[in-house]
Amino acid sequence: MSAPLRLRLDTQALIDNWRTLDRMSGTAACGAAVKANGYGLGAIEVAERLAGAGCRDFFVANWAEAQALAPIGLPVSVLHGVRAEDMPAALSGFARPVLNTAQQVARWKAAGGGACDVMIDTGMNRLGLSVDELDLLAGLQIETLMSHLACADEDSPMNERQRVAFAVLAGRTGARRMSLANSAGIALGSDYHFDLTRPGLALYGGVPRSEFKGTVRQVVAPEAQLLQRRRVAAGATVGYGATWCADQHAEVAIINLGYADGYFRSFSDRGSACFGSTMLPVIGRVSMDLVALDVSAAATLGEGDWIAIDFGLPEASAQSGMSEYELLTSLSARFARYWG
């Protein structure tokens, strides 16, 4: 059964983005965060493509995500650590835990777990052991010692504070590698790269800092099918709440896309689509499953035609007030995903 909405995914743009980030990472290896189903694109499809390009380090949030990637046999680290109920999966060896707490360290040691990663908190106060808990790590076989930047997408003095707090840990834990930078952190310069970088957003076309403008390419392109075209008389209204009123007669297209697909309500009266070179403004409120477009300028557009949604991430983020992360990770399972 073919879906009435589809997501076109650009393999070459994804690979080019990884290569760009790899190059920007200098001598450090460049990994890939593929948590949240590869930021909404499809974790397996993304990981396979990046592995083909040379990526060797993948990051997910939890063990269910790691399990989903297990069939393709890539090196995966599980950022959220290892709960008691994760131990059978963790000990089976298809992924490495990133130990975050003293309890997780004790659990991993008691079970005789092998190679692991460790997250150190250097000021974000989210996940990770604190710097004064370093003694607990004695005896662990640590592959990668990590920390995470709170403000890498801004020019904040916090970045340098965190970098210094992390850099002083070099040589103190027996870790084979150190890793600090997410996408935005890569642009902060070589001091932030250590041995391994962990980009997510920029791989998928996100622009967390101006340095990525013009270098990172858009990967996702949503398209929706036109379900009905109608003529709306001057003075008539369109959609829930009757918020949009035609000041002269208008041609309106109803397309198969809505906030349940991640096309948020905040695109109401602000978003746009295009048919060829004709811009089609969203009019009225975005519904759960439908959006209305003013197609007065597109005389030939009819039922069954496919319409490209304007979804350039920086612009769509500005239009909707949603972050680029939210826009990507909310793209629904109702989209048929086509990799080109």
Ligand X SMILES: *Cc1c(COP(=O)(O)O)cnc(C)c1O
Binding site for ligand X (CB under 6 A): 33, 35, 79, 148, 182-184, 198-201
Residue 280 main-chain phi, psi, to 5 deg: -120, 105
Is 39 an annotated catalytic residue?
Answer: no
Query: Are 257 and 290 in contact, with CB atoms under 8 Å apart?
Result: yes
Which residue, 192 or 275, is less far from ligand X as judged by CB? Answer: 192
State the pairing for strand pair 237-238/220-232.
Answer: unpaired
Cα 324 to Cα 180: distance, rounded to the nearest angstrom: 21
Residue appearing with tokens 């009435």: 4
Is 35 an annotated catalytic residue?
Answer: yes
Minimum gap (Å) between residue 17 Cβ and ligand X: 11
Which residue, 82 or 292, is less far from ligand X as judged by CB? Answer: 82
Residue appearing with tokens 């952190």: 185
Catalytic residue among 204, 213, 240, 338: 240
Which residue, 199 or 284, is less far from ligand X as judged by CB? Answer: 199
Which residue, 33 or 254, is less far from ligand X as judged by CB? Answer: 33
Which residue, 81 or 239, is less far from ligand X as judged by CB? Answer: 81
Minimum gap (Å) between residue 23 Cβ and ligand X: 16
| Sequence-separated contacts (24+) of 134-137 with Cβ below 8 Å | 134/169, 134/172, 134/173, 136/102, 136/105, 136/106, 137/105, 137/173, 137/174
Which residue, 154 or 303, is less far from ligand X as judged by CB? Answer: 154
Of 166, 206, 200, 167, the C-alpha closest to 182 is 200
Residues 6+ apart with CB under 8 A from 114: 93, 141
Query: Are 121 and 177 in contact, with CB atoms under 8 Å apart?
Result: no
Residues 6+ apart with CB under 8 A from 311: 218, 220, 221, 222, 327
Which value, in Å, is the radius of gyration of the alpha carbons in the chain?
Answer: 23
Q: Which residues does the annotation mark as catalytic?
A: 35, 240
